[in-house]
Chain A
Amino acid sequence: MKTFIGIDLGSTTTKAVQMDENLEVLGRGITNSRSNYDTASRVAKQEAVVDTRLTLCRRGLSGIPALEGRVDAFLGDLERAFRLEQFLEQLGDLEETCVGQIQGERFAGREQAVKEALEAVFAALREEAAALFAPGANRKSDFFRDIAGSRYLAQAEAVAGEAGLPYDLLLNVYDKSIIEVENRPPAEDMSGKFMRALDKIIAAAPEFQSAAKDVKAPVKQALDVELEESYLVGTGYGRVTLPFSKEHIRSEILCHGLGAHMMYPKTRTVLDIGGQDTKGIQVDENGIVENFQMNDRCAAGCGRYLGYIADEMNMGLHELGPMAMKSTRTVRINSTCTVFAGAELRDRLALGEKREDILAGLHRAIILRAMSIISRSGGITDQFTFTGGVAKNEAAVRELKKLVRENYGEVTININPDSIYTGALGAAAFAHRTLEGGAADGGAQEAEGGKT
């Protein structure tokens, strides 16, 4: 089947969306941007493809009597089992790479001991892997480096102690290997991994065994669907570093406008508050950008502002919103300059103001700044869609709703739980328009990439 891919290379995370010919989203993927946009876009795209396969499985499994009412749970199991397979494969890669690093003077005479120690470490990691992907398991992150890294360090310390080896030898081989492995995500034989995962689920659940055939066939079918990467469009701050030609790149302002339109077709005004910029965008009934404004000389009042405040208050970023929601009175914070706001914050704390009231004031300051950008872009016209990381912050949303009502009256405000994918969604829609809409966006180009 024809598919269209949009990739949004943000300053913090890279997102990918894959859609079909009917503009239906098949899959979404996200990864950290690292300092390597090339890898980030590859990983995000691959994650989107995995998600697409799961969507296709869902479609195929929805009519199977044995799974009636349990498709979600079944797919949840399938995904976890698949991710475990993937994790084990990557762990194997890491082990092999680590072993390859045992050379040079510092290992002289101890090669065999280090090799045996690594074997012990990786055996332990494999052993505990299943628990990491068990239902309800609490993983701090989904990125391989984070999961494998913390456990490797813990196991290596224990193993080194027992073997009487210096810990730093094991640390050294890991440090030399992890970036290489991380930038080489397991891409081969996705279907094989899915099928192995499926076999394991069936083997572990006697109730499925009688219906094994009914379940396997549609999954196999979903995995066999040929996903043709018909066109790909990249956007976001990292877009210029992408190995794409100019026709495959769109500005994030256009992508956010179109993405918001795809989510809520009646959108006329979009506000996006991201890590380093705030955009006010006006779109027409087709999602075409009519006008926009964004901060340029200064990034005051953007997402990073909250990150800085969280650091200043020694809190987690996600804790700010809930605490601000507890406030009973808003302390006025004048400065949207990140650094000055830090000074105001300390000043208010010294005056004995409550943390929640100060935080409410800081959230209001951000939204006031955003309101100024929106008004310069042409104000708010119904419907209004709010996107970007800050849209997940309930205190920011509360202030926004209040100020929108005060300034523009009753307006429908849309906030999508998947709003982090807005730019990638718009990019995928541009990819679709480019190919399916004739020369609508800079001329139809030959598809890049190929099959996935």
Chain B
Amino acid sequence: MSTATAQRPEVRKDDSMLKQKVMMAAHYDRLTSAKETGRKVASTFVPGNLNELVMCFDLLNNLPEVNAIQSGLRKQSGGYVMEAEKLGHSEDVCTYVKSDIGMMAKGNVGPNGKSLPAPDVLLLSYTGCFTFMKWFELLREQYQCETIMLHTPYEGDGKITANMRDYMVKQLKEEVIPTLERVSGVKFDIDRLREYLRESVKAEEDLVWVLQSAKNRPSPIDAYFGGIYYIGPIFGAFRGTPEATDYYRALRTEVDARVAAGKGPVTPEGDMGEEKYRLVVEGPPNYTSFREFWKMFYDEGAVVVASSYTKVGGVYDFGFRHDPDHPLESLADYCLGVYTNRNLPQRVDMLATYVDEYDADGLLINSIKSCNSFSAGQLLIMREVERRTGKPGAFIETDLVDPRYFSPANVKNRLESYFQMIEQKRSGRRAPAAPVAAADTGGVGGAA
């Protein structure tokens, strides 16, 4: 066993990554010791995560999606998914859900090896993913705890209206806040919320700066594989905290230094080589073979300069910031604007804008086998972005945390074909070979 470990190359980690690791460890320790410390726990989702509000009630924020991702990265999710299937969940159900259900069935052990607490309240923030609702129904059945449904109207027409905002604020005032007060026993203080929101804005500013640094050539970051790390604190239980502010400030300084040095992204194997392809990616990554998947990109000199996945927990790069002066309204706008709540034309707009603004070679879609909500329409998105930008698109299929749906040889084959297609498009037109007429029939045939 020690030989296998010894042969593995040392994984390169930046200071910001180490900092985040410490933050995450502290977070899971807080959660797993909640019973001893007497803290109460709310469970909620990344898209529409109202972390500042949750903190106003001294509640700890537990995110089942993040737990599923952690299980995927730690190669635990395969077993959990199968456990959930044993309990009767179909092969086609979202694998985040099955990983979570399977994890509960096997003792709900978190990344620190200790059991995660049962939630005191389920805050279902519904933002475009229908599965979320079913998922929390299952959790409610399991935990028999208070459940709040915050309904975010879908941006079917591609815009946020005053009515939509009012409707959300009304729910916050009449449903969400009173229930959280009752569960937690803590009185809501709007000034406390304003304070957290003020902190959020600082982190949001730096996050946007970091994401937009990918407009440089070479890009100092990978906005998909690296981006997964960058969104960790702000999409999870840290938005609105000074730790998040510090993290993003440190990250920005780090990236700034890379820009100044003309360096590309950091990969698990160190600095990336020459930047050959710049891609925009739609869809989540595969977490069970995350490193292997990433390697298929950086080995070929492909860097992701923008991705929609890093917007599922909040879209900040088109100007939205949490607003301490209009706290509830800005929470409403935040939920309404997350990527999962946007309609197809908005997603097309966003992706086409990224291809143009980040000077990308094209759009790559990683379609998720078990995600019916977001896989629908992705081919149309690809074609439309191709049409608008004139840049070629490509389509691969994997899964979130079910290792059975990651077929490396085939994914690699498609990716390499795509990169070569880009290469060919760039220069091939200059000197096309003149075709011959239907194959020469000279010779008496080989050994056939």
Q: Hey, which bits of chain A sit against chain B, CB under 8 A?
A: 22-31, 47-48, 50-52, 54-55, 58-59, 72, 75-76, 79, 142-143, 237, 250-254, 258, 261-265, 277, 286-297, 376, 378, 416, 418, 421, 425, 429, 432-433, 436-442
Decide: A251 and B420 in contact? CB cutoff 8 A.
yes
In the complex, whether B432 has a CB less than 8 A from a CB of chain A is yes
Stretch with Cβ within 8 A of A (4 or more), from B26-34, B91-99, B136-144, B440-448: B440-448
Given A55-B443, A75-B444, residue A416 in contact with residue B438 (CB < 8 A): yes
When C-beta atoms are compared, the residue in chain A nearest to B435 turns out to be A265
Decide: B447 and A251 in contact? CB cutoff 8 A.
no
Q: List 24 A-B contacts (CB under 8 A).
A: A23-B435, A26-B442, A30-B448, A54-B444, A55-B442, A59-B442, A237-B409, A250-B420, A251-B413, A251-B416, A263-B438, A265-B435, A286-B432, A287-B432, A287-B433, A290-B392, A291-B392, A294-B413, A296-B410, A296-B414, A297-B397, A433-B428, A440-B428, A441-B423
Decide: B383 and A25 in contact? CB cutoff 8 A.
no
Q: Which residues of A contact B369 (CB under 8 A)?
A: 297
Decide: B431 and A433 in contact? CB cutoff 8 A.
yes
Q: Which residues of A contact B162 (CB under 8 A)?
A: none
Q: Residue A296 contacts which of B411, B431, B433 (CB distance < 8 angstroms)?
A: B411
Q: Which residues of B contact A264 (CB under 8 A)?
A: 438
* Nearest-Cβ distance from residue A433 to partner chain B, whole angstroms: 5
* Nearest-Cβ distance from residue B285 to partner chain A, whole angstroms: 16
Dominant SS at the A interface? mixed
CA distance A291 to B417 in the complex (A): 10
CA distance A26 to B424 in the complex (A): 26
Q: Which of A48, A237, A297 has the most CB of B within 10 A?
A: A297
Q: Which residues of B contact A286 (CB under 8 A)?
A: 428-429, 432-433
Q: Which residues of A contact B448 (CB under 8 A)?
A: 28, 30, 142
Decide: A28 and B431 in contact? CB cutoff 8 A.
no
* Nearest-Cβ distance from residue A379 to partner chain B, whole angstroms: 11
In the complex, whether B379 has a CB less than 8 A from a CB of chain A is yes
Decide: B431 and A254 in contact? CB cutoff 8 A.
no
* Nearest-Cβ distance from residue B133 to partner chain A, whole angstroms: 27
Task: Tally the A-B contacts, defined by beta carbons under 8 Å.
Answer: 154
Decide: B407 and A296 in contact? CB cutoff 8 A.
yes
CA distance A415 to B108 in the complex (A): 58
Decide: B430 and A440 in contact? CB cutoff 8 A.
yes
Decide: A440 and B431 in contact? CB cutoff 8 A.
yes
Q: Which of A26, A421, A441 has the most CB of B within 10 A?
A: A441
Q: Interface 1/0s, chain B 369-407, versus A by CB < 8 A?
A: 100000000010001001000001111110000000101
In the complex, whether B436 has a CB less than 8 A from a CB of chain A is yes
When C-beta atoms are compared, the residue in chain A nearest to B431 turns out to be A437
Q: Apart from A50-B447, A251-B413, A288-B424, what are 13 other A-B pairs with CB-CB below 8 Å?
A: A23-B434, A25-B442, A30-B447, A55-B443, A250-B420, A252-B413, A262-B435, A292-B417, A296-B414, A376-B395, A429-B433, A437-B432, A437-B433
CA distance A429 to B393 in the complex (A): 24
Decide: A254 and B417 in contact? CB cutoff 8 A.
yes
Decide: B432 and A54 in contact? CB cutoff 8 A.
no
When C-beta atoms are compared, the residue in chain B nearest to A58 turns out to be B442
CA distance A376 to B380 in the complex (A): 10
Decide: A291 and B405 in contact? CB cutoff 8 A.
no
Decide: B435 and A261 in contact? CB cutoff 8 A.
yes
Q: Which of B394, B411, B446 has the most CB of A within 10 A?
A: B446
Decide: B420 and A254 in contact? CB cutoff 8 A.
yes
Decide: B446 and A27 in contact? CB cutoff 8 A.
yes
Given A261-B435, A297-B369, residue A441 in contact with residue B427 (CB < 8 A): yes
In the complex, whether B425 has a CB less than 8 A from a CB of chain A is yes
Q: Which residues of B contact A378 (CB under 8 A)?
A: 383
Decide: B429 and A288 in contact? CB cutoff 8 A.
yes
Q: Hey, which bits of chain B sit against chain A, CB under 8 A?
A: 369, 379, 383, 386, 392-397, 405, 407, 409-411, 413-414, 416-417, 420-421, 423-425, 427-440, 442-448
When C-beta atoms are compared, the residue in chain B nearest to A82 turns out to be B444
Given A24-B436, A24-B440, residue A289 in contact with residue B421 (CB < 8 A): yes
Q: Residue A25 contacts which of B414, B423, B428, B436 (CB distance < 8 angstroms)?
A: B436
Q: Which residues of A contact B409 (CB under 8 A)?
A: 237
Q: Which residues of B contact A237 (CB under 8 A)?
A: 409, 413
Decide: B444 and A51 in contact? CB cutoff 8 A.
yes
- 9 closest Cβ pairs, A-B complex: A437-B431, A286-B432, A251-B417, A265-B435, A296-B410, A55-B442, A253-B417, A29-B446, A55-B443
Q: Which residues of A contact B411 (CB under 8 A)?
A: 296
Q: Which residues of B contact A51 (CB under 8 A)?
A: 443-446
When C-beta atoms are compared, the residue in chain B nearest to A24 turns out to be B440
Decide: B439 and A47 in contact? CB cutoff 8 A.
no
Decide: B439 and A416 in contact? CB cutoff 8 A.
yes
Decide: B393 and A289 in contact? CB cutoff 8 A.
no
Decide: A376 and B379 in contact? CB cutoff 8 A.
yes
* Nearest-Cβ distance from residue A31 to partner chain B, whole angstroms: 7
* Nearest-Cβ distance from residue B429 to partner chain A, whole angstroms: 6
Decide: B431 and A432 in contact? CB cutoff 8 A.
no
CA distance A382 to B119 in the complex (A): 60
* Nearest-Cβ distance from residue A402 to partner chain B, whole angstroms: 24
Q: Which residues of A contact B430 (CB under 8 A)?
A: 437-438, 440
Decide: B436 and A289 in contact? CB cutoff 8 A.
no
Decide: A47 and B446 in contact? CB cutoff 8 A.
yes
* Nearest-Cβ distance from residue A20 to partner chain B, whole angstroms: 10
Q: Which residues of A contact B413 (CB under 8 A)?
A: 237, 251-253, 294
CA distance A27 to B437 in the complex (A): 16
CA distance A287 to B432 in the complex (A): 8
Decide: B416 and A442 in contact? CB cutoff 8 A.
no
Q: Which residues of B contact A376 (CB under 8 A)?
A: 379, 395
CA distance A438 to B429 in the complex (A): 12
CA distance A288 to B421 in the complex (A): 8
Given A55-B442, A251-B420, A253-B417, residue A287 in contact with residue B436 (CB < 8 A): no
When C-beta atoms are compared, the residue in chain A nearest to B442 turns out to be A55
CA distance A99 to B146 in the complex (A): 85
CA distance A143 to B448 in the complex (A): 9
CA distance A290 to B429 in the complex (A): 12
Q: Which residues of B contact A277 (CB under 8 A)?
A: 410
Decide: B445 and A442 in contact? CB cutoff 8 A.
no
Q: Residue B439 contacts which of A262, A292, A442 (CB distance < 8 angstroms)?
A: A262
* Nearest-Cβ distance from residue A141 to partner chain B, whole angstroms: 10
Decide: A50 and B439 in contact? CB cutoff 8 A.
no
Q: Residue B447 contacts which of A47, A55, A254, A437 (CB distance < 8 angstroms)?
A: A47
Decide: A25 and B447 in contact? CB cutoff 8 A.
no
Decide: A296 and B439 in contact? CB cutoff 8 A.
no
Q: Which residues of B contact A50 (CB under 8 A)?
A: 446-447
When C-beta atoms are compared, the residue in chain B nearest to A22 turns out to be B436
Q: Which residues of A contact B425 (CB under 8 A)?
A: 288
Decide: A23 and B436 in contact? CB cutoff 8 A.
yes
CA distance A293 to B379 in the complex (A): 11
Q: Which residues of A contact B429 (CB under 8 A)?
A: 286, 288
* Nearest-Cβ distance from residue B405 to partner chain A, whole angstroms: 6
CA distance A439 to B428 in the complex (A): 9
Decide: B428 and A425 in contact? CB cutoff 8 A.
no
